[in-house]
Amino acid sequence: MTLGDHDLQLLRRCYLFAGMDGTAYQELVEHVGLVQLAAGQTLFQQDQPLTAIYLVTEGLIRLYRVSPQGEEKVIDLVGAGRSFAEAALFMGGHYPVCAAAQSASRLIAIDAVHFRNWLAQETQRCFRLMAAMSVRMHKLLNDIDQLTLMKGTDRLLQYLLDHSDPDEQGRQVVELEAPKLVIASRLGIKPETFSRLLHKLADQGCIEVQENRIYIADPERMRQSRIE
């Protein structure tokens, strides 16, 4: 499969490629391909050797780790326009997590060996990439703060506020990107706690739940909500 115009536009906007001149960009584009996954299909396993860096063009990818007891902990949900697995370039060449398609997905695969060799040819390339990755790291640190310093109730409130957008009527709505079980794991709370907190917010008149949509009646009031 060849990359279409939409694929090339997403790739050019990706922070891995955004600062490149035309020659370098064209050189790297020659070493990318497309991957299509069905819902539930595994892309790679934890500790598997790194072969590619990925950019999502359609769908949703679940990144997760599996505990020795077999429990799955969701690390991130990666949607269209976002890349993942680039940190593995500098982490011993193995994927630190598992990746699977949460929904039918389409990905651009960037050859990891060629990309690493391209970086090694010029020090400034590495510095530009490190600068871009540091921005991403700050976001991840904020996510860690939310998971460790905020209570589960506050993490849920922040998630709903961060993922809300106005609909045609101007109401703030959250389209749940994955099943509640998966989102609860991402937020570090138990599924039953997730459901209980949603019910309490609904009882307080802060939200209205309609299947995979959550309407926020009053965002400011919800910011001040106190639920236990």
Rg, C-alpha atoms of the chain:
19
pLDDT at 25: 84
- Written as tens digits, the pLDDT of the chain (228 aa) is 678 888 888 888 888 887 777 888 888 888 899 999 999 999 999 999 999 999 999 999 999 998 888 888 999 899 999 999 988 888 788 999 999 999 999 999 999 999 888 888 888 777 777 777 777 676 666 666 666 667 878 888 888 888 888 888 888 899 998 899 999 988 888 889 999 999 988 888 888 999 889 999 877 777 766 555
pTM for this predicted structure: 0.76
Domains along the chain with CATH numbers = 5-149 (2.60.120.10), 152-223 (1.10.10.10)
Query: Are the C-beta atoms of residues 88 and 100 closer than 8 Å to each other?
Result: no
- Please tell me whether residue 137 adopts helix, strand or coil conformation: helix
Return the DSSP state at 223: H
Q: Order of strands across the sheet with 213-216?
A: 164-166, 172-175, 213-216, 207-210
